[in-house]
Amino acid sequence: MVPKESFSPEAWLRKGDVDLESARVLLNDAVRHDKSLEKFRDLCEAATEYYLAERYPYEEPVSVSKPELEAQIRQAELLREALRF
């Protein structure tokens, strides 16, 4: 778990213009304080890919299987728990 005094997602989000494309930047900041969060890198990359496909629909659709998506949802829940204080 990330120590409260070392990283604050709320403070980071107040920096402005934050969207799912910023997941990589947020993870980079968090990993500086807690190296164990690196295991969520693939999840953040997938979230960025989904965001871009939704934001810019002229791009190729994202292809993901139901089991892969379910695994990513489980990973997202683990990440949410890891960031709770």
- pTM for the predicted model, two decimal places: 0.66
Quick one: which of 8, 12, 7, 34 has its CA closest to 23? 12
Residue 72 contacts by C-beta under 8 Å, 6 or more apart in sequence? 43, 46, 64
Residue 14: what pLDDT? 56
Model pLDDT for residues 16-55, shown as the tens digit of each residue:
555 555 777 788 888 888 899 999 999 988 888 887 777 7
SS (H, E, C) 49-82: HHHHHHHCCCCCCCCCCHHHHHHHHHHHHHHHHH
Model pLDDT for residues 58-74, shown as the tens digit of each residue:
767 778 899 999 999 99
> What whole-number distance in Å separates Cα of residue 2 and Cα of residue 82?
7
